[in-house]
Amino acid sequence: MLNRKEWLALIALTLMWGINWPMMKLSLREVSPLYFRAMTMTLGASWLYLFFRLRGGRMVMPQGEQWQTVMLLALPNILGWHVLSIFGVQELRSGRAAILGFTMPIWTVLIGAIWFRERLTRRVVCATVAVALAVLLLVSHELQHLSGRPVGVFWMLAAANCWALGTLLMRRTPLTMPIEAVAVWMLLLSCGVLWALAVSLEPVPSFQFTAVTWWSLVYGVLINYGFAQIIWFGLARRLPPASSAMSVMAVPLVGIGSAIPILGETPYWQDGVAVLLVMVAIAAVLLPQRAPSSPSSESTP
């Protein structure tokens, strides 16, 4: 069981992750997607490195074959997720992007079953059906509107699948470096690729942003890449599956709710139904099954 301090940290983490979706959308009003990711990730990864280093963490640079391992893990976990998801946020309402992005636990289980021959349970099948219905509902709603962006749905699904694949690779890759060092070096290595893509594909920003945009960028650096990651590293090793599932399920809800005051987005009924379907699917794959009671534990008449 989590103590009071850990519950407060989990609630703060959920709020930070959820609010980050409309904050990203806010930044994209004045900053192009790749420059946004390059700037916030570079500054965020740098201060994460300094934080863990000052706390006495072993932030050693990868050596020998460790470089290959870190680069391999960074491809889906960092580059795939962060690049594809920011294009999805650009095309979709932020709350809708959050719903689709957090289908990642279901794809993790499905990819594990298809590629790594992990067991596919009845609960996973039900979760897959629920996610499929949610995706079809959102795609159909995007197609019904002339201003709809159905391509954004596919960007977000591709991003969620990258995250899922990266999660599976992390589980199966023996790591000799501390997980904090692996995560920070994945971010730092990805920054170079992001800057190269941004310079090649997008015009250089003028940096004459409004105060609101500057605040949204600061949020991305200090909160999303900073405090949220620090809290997550502190909780990850001792977070029970049920608590993890509740946090993941709540993030899209926070994303939809916070988009109302931040962006003025009014959710459609399709978003409400879709987020409920995704919550059911996440619960099906993440919440532990209740163990069958033994005869000795049953009460006697």
Whether 132 maps to a domain, the answer reads yes
Whether 260 maps to a domain, the answer reads yes
Whether 157 maps to a domain, the answer reads yes
Calpha distance 54→12 (Å, rounded): 23
Whether 91 maps to a domain, the answer reads yes
Q: Which of 5-19, 83-97, 161-175, 242-256 has the lowest mean pLDDT?
A: 242-256
One-letter identity of residue 229: Q
Evaluate if pTM is beyond 0.75.
yes
Q: Which structural domain, as residue segments, surrounds residue 34? A: 4-287
pLDDT of residue 120: 78
Whether 295 maps to a domain, the answer reads no
Whether 293 maps to a domain, the answer reads no
Q: Which has the closest alpha carbon to 61: 182, 194, 156, 160?
A: 182
One-letter identity of residue 131: V
Per the structure, how many domains does the chain have? 1
pLDDT in tens, 176-227: 888 899 999 999 999 999 999 999 999 999 899 999 999 999 999 999 999 9
pLDDT in tens, 76-102: 999 999 999 999 999 999 999 999 999
Whether 301 maps to a domain, the answer reads no
Calpha distance 37→31 (Å, rounded): 10
Residue 185 CB partners (closer than 8 Å, separation 6+): 61, 62, 70, 177
Whether 64 maps to a domain, the answer reads yes
Sequence-ordered alpha helix ranges (H) in 208-240: 211-218, 228-236
User: Could you give the count of Cα atoms lying within 13 Å of 25 in the half-sphere of its Cβ?
Assistant: 25
